[in-house]
Chain A
């Protein structure tokens, strides 16, 4: 369904505004996420390390290649990251009983604390960020953003 027609100039201005809104929102979320790490459970970790931990799942033992695919990184990149997280005590490695060649990774208690603290941060952030939207605004935003995200995902 199309809204009322608007002039080419106004349309152009709105496109520019949306461009700025998307980049600005993306940058702000990144900064807030970085800042959220400054608590006793995630202190000293980078946001990339936290996302690596989250990708392993709360109670899973996942093959390295599965975690790498979830993160969209190469196995070599993940191997380096995991080695560091093992040293810091957030992650442990084991071998699959079915196939001893397959290395599995899982979270330690410290790692699960990080995952839960990070999820908590996300829940709180989204609740607060959307607090001023009406039910209808939230629904329209979700629909429109899903379409825009699909475009970016395809090219990422």
Chain B
């Protein structure tokens, strides 16, 4: 599965977001994802994508999140 689709799946599951609103350009802020949501999201994505995420700073958009995960694969 493409990383963006996994991200969508987890966000829809965790936060009940509309899948269509989750685009590469969407900011975490605009989607209403706060820092604790992000902690949960990262821990879920680590399991699903089988990566070790670390504690990166400065991720503001879905696109940046996807790029970071792909850089770990």
Contact = CB atoms under 8 A, between A and B. Distances in A.
A116 B42 contact: yes
A41 interface: yes
Given A58-B54, A59-B52, A116 B47 contact: no
Given A39-B36, A40-B36, A41-B36, A113 B43 contact: yes
Q: Size band of the A side of the interface?
A: 10 to 19
B54 A120 contact: no
Interface string A113-140: 1001101100010000000000000000
A120 B43 contact: no
A41 B42 CA distance: 13
B55 interface: yes
B52 A113 contact: no
B39 A120 contact: yes
Contact of A112 (B35, B36, B43): B43
Query: In terms of DSSP, what is the predominant structure of the interface of chain A?
Result: helix
A119 B55 contact: yes
B5 interface: no
B56 to A, nearest CB: 11
Interface string A65-83: 0000000000000000000
B25 interface: no
Contacts of A112: 43, 46
Contacts of B46: 109, 112
B54 A41 contact: no
Nearest to A107: B43
A120 B47 contact: no
B44 A116 contact: no
Interface string B20-63: 00000000000000011001101110110000101100000000
9 contacts: A39-B36, A41-B36, A41-B39, A58-B52, A58-B54, A112-B43, A113-B39, A113-B43, A120-B39
Interface of B: 35-36, 39-40, 42-44, 46-47, 52, 54-55
